[in-house]
Amino acid sequence: MDSPGQRTFSSIASKVIMALAGVFLLVFLAVHLGINLLLLADDGGVAFSAAAGIMGTHPVIRMMELVLFSGFALHIVFGFVVSIRNRKSRPIRYQHKSLSETSPFSKYMMHTGIVVLLFLGLHFVDFYFIKLGIVAPPPGIERHDFYKRAVVLFSDPIYSGIYLVSFLVLGFHLNHALQAAVQTLGLNHSRYTPLINAASALYAMIIAGGFMAIPLRFTLFN
């Protein structure tokens, strides 16, 4: 049986790994958004297709896909580990909640994370699995024609609705993510906490709002 010291170290290590993987994914989301916003350009998908082509064929970027998937796996696995350990460490729920209790963003991180994970699976089926040839593309669409595939999907109000809700939930997840990562890595400071909180909220709004603008453009103005 592990000693209390070993359990504490294991818990801290899990949080640090989850935080580092989360920081990597924060950077990835910004890059991914930059490419996806090219869908809004009025050029028939030329800019987006060029960027997607580079991302799909450049050897360095293809190697980075392994790092990306490792980042997703580590963040998801250790996120569940940390959440389960936190629940086990607080088996008794207090009848009267104190004002100092954790914020809703922190309290429901696992719930919002599950929603994002489900959407990620859908996103893989709609794009990445088609690129790999695991899933056949819809009739009339080439396997690597991501622009036409995006236009078809975002022209569907149901799919756009799922996309919008998923990224709204992701926004709530991200709002706490940067704050939690800074705290876990021991980089927080009382003087900079308000700035970190503001930066986290701004990042969440930019990422979620940017991704949500894409289906709105095709659903409302196509």
58-110 pLDDT, tens per residue?
Answer: 677 667 777 777 777 777 777 777 777 766 665 544 444 433 345 555 677 77
Tokens of 6: 């070993």
pLDDT at residue 98, as a whole number: 39
Phi, psi of 102 (to 5 degrees): -60, 155
Q: What's the mean per-residue pLDDT of the chain?
A: 79
Residue 97 placed within a domain: no
Report yes or no on 96 lying in a domain. Answer: no
CATH (domain of 130)? 1.20.1300
Q: Given this model, what pLDDT does residue 163 score?
A: 94
Domain that holds residue 114: 4-91+102-221
pLDDT band at 113 (very low <50, low <70, confident <90, very high): confident
> DSSP assignment of 30-74, as one string?
HHHHHHHGGGGSSSTTHHHHHHHHHHHH-HHHHHHHHHHHHHHHH
What secondary structure does DSSP assign to 85-136, as a single string?
Answer: HHHHH--S--SS--TTSPPHHHHTHHHHHHHHHHHHHHHIIIIIHHHHTSSP
Q: How many domains does the chain fold into?
A: 1
CA gyration radius for the chain? 20
pLDDT at 38 > cutoff 90: yes
Q: What pLDDT does residue 105 have?
A: 55
Quick check: is 127 in a domain? Answer: yes
In a domain, 173, yes or no: yes
In a domain, 181, yes or no: yes
Higher pLDDT, 103 or 152: 152
Name which of 4-8, 85-89, 95-99, 209-213 the model is least confident about. 95-99
Work out the average pLDDT over 139-156: 87
Segment 34-46 mean pLDDT? 92
pLDDT cut 70: percent of the chain above it: 82
Distance CA 174, CA 219 (A): 25
- Give per-residue burial for 88-121: e unless 16+ CB within 10 Å, then b: eeeeeeeeeeeeeeeeebeebbeebbbbbeebee
| pLDDT value at residue 101 | 42
Q: State if pTM tops 0.85.
A: no
Q: What is the pLDDT of residue 210?
A: 96
Q: Is residue 205 part of a domain?
A: yes
Per-residue pLDDT, 95: 44
Query: For residue 188, is it within any domain?
Result: yes
| Residue that is written with structure tokens 């250790």 in the block | 78
